[in-house]
Structure 1
Amino acid sequence: MILAKRPEIDRFLSRPEPGIRAAVIHGKDRSGVAERATTLCKTVTPDLNDPFNVTLLTDTDIDADDGRLEDALTAMSLMGGRRLVRIRLGNEKASTDKALAAALKIHADGGYNPDAMLVIEAGGLGRDSALRKAAEASKGAVGIACYEDETGDVARMTREALAAEKVSLSSDALDRFVSRLPRERGLMRQEIERLILYIGPGSGIQLGLDDLEAHLGVEPDASLQDAALQAFGGKAAAAQSGLRRALAEGESSVVAVRQVSIHLGKLRRINILQNAGAGAKEAAKAAGVFWKQEAEMLRQARAWRLPELDQVLESVNSADLATRTTGMPEALIVERLLLEISARARRMGL
């Protein structure tokens, strides 16, 4: 079964139908996929770290042991409650895709533990993906594609997050803030949280446009923004210099990757708006581009088209994960990412 409309997706994620035993949530916005998967998983069990009722697997786990997935899906709860099998895919290997598709078909038809819920988080699955086809064709499973949030959805998300902390923005300030936000869910949430801290949680204050501009003008990570700008412009040495300066000033590698993702998001936004008929300056303004950087951003956007940006997004997501989970030197991970982007930019003539 396919879920495509936002109201039906939100309704399913909060109250899944009893006959559904599997869900494949996929999209290029990894944090958006993870957020929706977490919402769904919490309807199965409130404690996602429960060692008795929750099994978390990756594609590496499945590739290393052919029987591990079947064991997880057939296992019964030892302590009562419903079983949850959650799978996070880090790549799109054809062999893993087919293996998961076969297991999903059996489980959706009740062939394993019929009380278990299978939730699979994946990247951007194409229409030729066996896993995606299996989820969309089965009556006992759903396929949910995560696309970029529309401006209205982002505004609603911002209003709700602010209201929960008893603060708000005026209508013109909200429009301005939303236009500046990256379109990646995780980064979006971080920027909204930073704004809430700036206003003061629980203060009851409504921020106007002038006060918001003061907040937007505070850029503690300006060196990282410059590093991202230089990398996408093909200037490797300048990008390295900006990164090292920022790290020396106490900025973190996690924030450095975030700035690369924000810059990529702005280029994507410019592309999408121009493809929809917007003028160059109009698109740059709507994407939240600082006026002093407008000419350079538009120069980059002419070379960095959506297919090229999507390729880089995979590298950005990998670097983000690596800076949080691996034992590799974080600064080296970010520097390698900037050099990769710079090299791609130079090959495109920037």
Structure 2
Amino acid sequence: MILSKRPDIERFLAKPDPKVRAILIYGRDMGVVRDRANALAAKSVERPDDPFDVALLTDGDLDSDGGRLEGELAAQSLMGGRRLVRLKLSVEKASLDRQAAEALTAHAEGRLNPDAVFIVEAGNLGRDSALRKAAEKAENAAAIPCYEDEPGDVARLVRETLASDGVALDAPALQLFVSRLPRERGVARQEIERLALYLGPGSGRTASAADLEDFLGVEPEASLSDAAADAFGGRLAEAQAALRRARAEGEAGPAAVRAIGAYLGRLRRTLTLMRNGAGAQEAAKASGVFWKQEREFLRQVRAWSLEELDRLQPDVLAADRACKTAGAPDHLIAERLALTIAGRARRLGL
């Protein structure tokens, strides 16, 4: 069985199907894999950290003892409760993949201890993985792929983690903090915990975006964001200065073109929402515009149109392709694109 849709996964994690004995959780973001495995372990046994109820295995255990995994799955709980076997695979190795797949199949079919729960944590398994195929095919098993968190998932994680420490962020601060967090959940969680310490656990404080300025420091990609905003605002000299500053900070031409494309996307989304009846400020917030940039962004929204953005899109795509050509002067390509956009912005009255 495959559980790929988020609502199905959340329902399963909240209330696992008792018929499912084996669960494979895999994906590129090991932080999400670990969080889901921990949540499932907590639902599977009363004491997920008790060595009498739980067996924790790794790649090394399978390598050193080929029969260890099935032996643990066949064993009974020493305390008489339900048993949990967790396997963490951190390396890609065909022999380990096959060994885990065989054990999962046998356990799902009830040939070992049918009262035990088997949870496997793995990286980004391909379609040819025997373990993945076994989990997807077996009747009493589940395969849960883990994809990169969406901004909404990250925002929920921030709110819930901070709430557990008795602190919070207001809406603009939450938007700012989420936009600056890495998408790998393990690293993101560390940053959230660091923020909780900064705000003071148990203080009941609700921080604003201004309160976070000292904590966040200077955003590494701020120069690229500034360059895109200046280009669409018709300020060529400022856009060029920001691009050159970004280059000095180590940001290459392709990143600049992506930043310009992302800014165009925000303008397009805002204008589309407005065409469908939304107010300008409401549409800008829904498009992810930070409150400090809102006034300038809305000034640009009044000048640009969806038709003008459509005419500009081929230039952005061409610049993106050109930057990916071997030996291309990508910083000059990005500056030329900014020049093109700023020129059109000036003709629109910006």
Q: Are residues 49 and 93 of structure 1, via their aligned partners in 2, closer, same or farther at CA, if it must alter by over 3 Å?
A: same
Match of 1:129, as an amino acid? Answer: S
Q: Deviations over 1:116-163 (max 9, x none)?
A: 111001010011111001101112011011111001111111112222
| Pairwise CA distance, 1:45 | 2.2
Measure the CA separation in 2 of the matches of 1:62 and 1:205: 48
SS in 2 for 1:3: coil
The TM-score with structure 1 as length reference comes to 0.64
Q: Deviations over 1:51-75 (max 9, x none)?
A: 2221111122112211111111111
SS in 1 for 2:252: helix
* Candidates 252, 273, 292, aligned match of 1:299: 252
| Pairwise CA distance, 1:18 | 0.5
Residue 213 (structure 1) aligns with: 213
Instruction: After superposing the two structures, state which structure 1 stretch, 5-14 or 175-184, moved more.
Output: 5-14
| Pairwise CA distance, 1:49 | 3.2
SS in 1 for 2:23: strand
SS in 1 for 2:97: helix
| Pairwise CA distance, 1:107 | 0.7
Residue 42 (structure 1) aligns with: 42
Instruction: Report which of the two structures shows the higher radius of gyration computed on alpha carbons.
Output: 2
Q: Are residues 124 and 76 of structure 1, via their aligned partners in 2, closer, same or farther at CA, if it must alter by over 3 Å?
A: same
Match of 1:201, as an amino acid? Answer: P
Match of 2:83, as an amino acid? Answer: R
Give the total of aligned pairs: 246
Contact conserved, 1:169 with 1:206, CA < 8 A, in 2?
yes
Measure the CA separation in 1 of the matches of 2:174 and 2:203: 18
Match of 1:211, as an amino acid? Answer: D
Runs of 5+ consecutive residues of structure 2 not aligned to the other structure: 230-241, 259-325, 331-350
Residue 61 (structure 2) aligns with: 61
Residue 174 (structure 2) aligns with: 174
Q: Are residues 32 and 74 of structure 1, via their aligned partners in 2, closer, same or farther at CA, if it must alter by over 3 Å?
A: same
Measure the CA separation in 1 of the matches of 2:48 and 2:244: 46
Contact conserved, 2:227 with 2:243, CA < 8 A, in 1?
no
Residue 134 (structure 2) aligns with: 134
CA RMSD between the two structures: 3.1
Measure the CA separation in 2 of the matches of 1:64 and 1:74: 19
% identical equivalent positions: 54
Matches within 5 A, 1:67-106: 67-106=67-106
| Pairwise CA distance, 1:217 | 2.2
Matches within 5 A, 1:310-321: none
Measure the CA separation in 1 of the matches of 2:244 and 2:21: 52
| Pairwise CA distance, 1:198 | 1.4
Measure the CA separation in 2 of the matches of 1:73 and 1:293: 58
Residue 22 (structure 2) aligns with: 22
Runs of 5+ consecutive residues of structure 1 not aligned to the other structure: 220-262, 271-277, 283-289, 306-346
1:2 is the counterpart of 2:6: no
Q: Are residues 291 and 77 of structure 1, via their aligned partners in 2, closer, same or farther at CA, if it must alter by over 3 Å?
A: farther
Residue 247 (structure 1) aligns with: none
Contact conserved, 2:27 with 2:123, CA < 8 A, in 1?
yes
